[in-house]
Amino acid sequence: MIKRRKAGRIRPLGPLELGVLAELHAACFAEAWDEAALAALLALPGAFALIDQGEASGSSEATPAGFVLAWASAGEAEILSLGVRPAMRRRGMARNLLAAATTEAAQRGATRVFLEVAADNRAAQLLYLGAGFAQIGRRANYYRRPGGGAAALVLAREIAGGCTSESKIEK
């Protein structure tokens, strides 16, 4: 049985947590972004990052389990990166992070959100399609892979009126 997460553990990235974000990114992706790259992205106007704080076990503190990095500007938003630690996947964290980022983007005036997803990442595609995204383009050889590149599917979703709760994310 898959344990579903309670809402409310998602929070903004703190100003001194670039190391946490870099470690999370490295845990989620083979081509990790370092602290300098993340700092440069977060310095862009409208950029923001949210962290899923994870669950504490026993007396230990919770280890951040997932993140979303995005920006919102001039009525549009883009999900730059979204990841959940492999051991914590399939618990609804990515869906919750996506909903929280969409809500934040709407609060910043965005009415449409974009993202790229690897054509060979079916699990992520299902997440985004289930959240109302639709494919609007394709970029050949966008992602580097051992033995060749993978295409990126460009997806978009209207968020007019904002996405204010998980209940607006289709399952």
In the chain, domain spans: 10-55+63-159
The residue to which tokens 């553990």 are assigned? 9
The yes-or-no verdict on residue 73 having pLDDT over 60 is yes
Mean pLDDT of the chain: 87
The yes-or-no verdict on residue 84 having pLDDT over 70 is yes
Contact of 154 with 114, CB cutoff 8 Å = yes
Burial class for 65, CB neighbours closer than 10 Å (0-12, 13-18, 19+): buried
Express as a percent the part of the chain with pLDDT over 90. 73
- What pTM does this model have? 0.84
> What is residue 32's predicted lDDT score, i.e. its pLDDT?
92
> Where are the strands (E) in the chain, listed by range?
10-12, 47-52, 66-73, 76-84, 112-118, 134-145, 148-158
Distance CA 64, CA 53 (A): 4
Phi, psi torsion values for 66, nearest 5 degrees = -160, 170
User: Does domain 10-55+63-159 fall into CATH 3.40.630.30?
Assistant: yes
The neighbouring-strand residues paired with 12 are 50
> What is residue 60's predicted lDDT score, i.e. its pLDDT?
56
Strand, helix or coil for residue 112: strand
Q: Give the pLDDT mean for 119-130.
A: 95
> What is residue 166's predicted lDDT score, i.e. its pLDDT?
40
> What is residue 56's predicted lDDT score, i.e. its pLDDT?
58
Closest CA relative to residue 155, chosen from 164, 132, 66, 47: 132
